[in-house]
Amino acid sequence: MRKKVLIIIVILLLATTLFSLFFFLNKEDDKSISDLLMEEGYSDNEVSLILDKVAEEDYEDVLNLGYDKSLLGILSASGYDESKFNNYIEYYVKNKDANINDIITIINSRYDLDNYPASALLADLVKEKYYINDNVARYLDYGNSHDIGAKKIISLVNSKADLGFYSESYDSVLDDNNLILVNKFYHLKEDYMPSDLVSLGGQYNRGANSRMRKDAAEAFMKMVDAAKLDNIILYNMSAFRSYDYQDNLYNRYIKRDGKEAADKYSARPGYSEHQTGLCSDLNVIDDSFDGTDEANWLRDNAYKYGFILRFPKGKEDITGYKYEAWHYRYVGIEAAKIIYEDDITLEEYYAYYIEKISD
C-alpha cells in the first residue's frame, strides 16, 4: 500500500513539474517574441498591437519585415481581417509605396489580383457592383488612359464599348430568349426570324411593322391597357423588321446623311434588335416624343411590364446610339426591374448576369 502511495506521489510531482515547465517555456516564448519585436524598434504599444492583431503562427513573418510603420498601418486599418494577414503582407511587399487602405480594399475584395499593382483606381474598381474580374486588365488600361470614374469604366468595358463599335462581331445567342443581345457587336443571321411572331392589332398598333414575339406582344398589350387607365394612349409604330427590311432602311439613311451619321441612329442589317421581334418604336419616332406625358409614363412604368428604355439619354457611349425616347425593348419583368432600378443598359446587364455567370 505504501508503495502505491509513493508511486502516486511521484506521478503527481512529475505532472506538476511538467506543467510548470510547459507554462514557463510558453511564457518565455511570449517574452522572447516581445523582446525580439522591441529589438527591431517597436515600442511597447506597438508590440501590444502586433500581439493582439497577428496570430502566433505569423509572428515570424512580422520579424522578417523588421521595423515597418506600414505594418502598423495594416493592423490598424478599419477593414483589417486577421485571417488575411499573410495576403496583406505578401501584397504589401510587392507594393510598398501603395496606400495601405487601397491594399486592404483590394485584398478584402477576394478577387485574384496579386499580380496587379495596387492603386487607387483598382481599389475603386473592386468596390463597384458590376465589377467582373475577367475584365480587370481592360478596366485598368482604359482607366489609366481616360479621366473618368470607376463606375463609368466598368460600364464601358463590360459593354465592350472600349473596343470600338463594330470592331468585333459575335453571333447573338438565340438560347438567351427574351434576353438575346443584338447591338453593334452581337448580330443575327440574315435568315433569322422568330418562330412565334404574332400581330398587334386594333388600339395596339398604327404601324406597318406590327409583329412581335408572343410573350412580348402579350406584355405590350398589358402595358398599353394599363397606360390607358392613366389616360395615356400608347401604340406600336414599328416592331419586327426582317434583315432585308433593315438593309434597305439603313442604306437609305446612308444615302441621305452619310454612313457616319447613319450609324448613330440606325443599325446595320443583322445588328438591329428589331429583328428579334422583342422591341417596339412607340407613338412618335422622333425627338419630339421626349418629354411628352406618354414618354414620361413609359419611363416610369414600362419596367413593370418587362420593357426597358433601350437607348437612354447619357448612355450613348455604351449603347452606340443616340437617345431614343420611343424605343422600348422587352426583356421580362425580372431583368427590367434590375435595369430600371440600377440605371444600367441591356449591355451592362447582359455582361454581368448572362456572360459572367455562363463563364
Express each pLDDT in 137-189 by its tens digit. 999 999 999 999 999 999 999 999 999 999 999 999 999 999 999 999 999 99
Express each pLDDT in 274-291 by its tens digit. 999 999 999 999 999 999
Express each pLDDT in 214-226 by its tens digit. 999 999 999 999 9
Mean of the pLDDT values across residues 198-213?
97
What is the spatial distance between Cα 185 and Cα 163, in angstroms, rounded to a whole number?
A: 10
Q: What is the pLDDT of residue 130?
A: 97
**From 46, 294, 324, 347, active-site residue:** 324
Burial 140-154 (b: 16+ CB within 10 A, else e): bebbeeeeeebeebb
Q: What is the pLDDT of residue 5?
A: 52
Express each pLDDT in 214-273 by its tens digit. 999 999 999 999 999 999 999 999 999 999 999 999 999 999 999 999 999 999 999 999
Q: Which of 295, 278, 274, 281 lies closest to 331, judged by CA?
A: 278
324 is catalytic: yes
Checking if the pLDDT of 14 tops 90, the result is no
Q: Which of 148, 189, 116 lies closest to 318, judged by CA?
A: 148
Q: What is the pLDDT of residue 356?
A: 86
* Better-predicted residue by pLDDT, 139 or 11: 139
Q: Name residues whose C-beta falls within 8 Å of residue 200's C-beta, 6 or more positions apart in sequence.
A: 210, 211, 212, 217, 220, 221, 236, 239
Checking if the pLDDT of 32 tops 50, the result is yes
Q: What are phi and psi of 77, to 5 degrees?
A: -65, 145
CA-atom Rg of the chain in angstroms? 32
User: Which single residue is written with the C-alpha cell 434588335?
Assistant: 273
Q: What are phi and psi of 125, to 5 degrees?
A: -65, -45
As to burial, measured by CB atoms within 10 angstroms (0-12 exposed, 13-18 middle, 19+ buried), residue 91 is buried
Checking if the pLDDT of 20 tops 70, the result is no
Express each pLDDT in 35-77 by its tens digit. 999 999 999 999 999 999 999 999 998 998 889 999 999 999 9
**CATH code reported for the domain at 167-358:** 3.30.1380.10
What are the domain boundaries of the chain? 41-158, 167-358
Mean of the pLDDT values across residues 114-137?
97
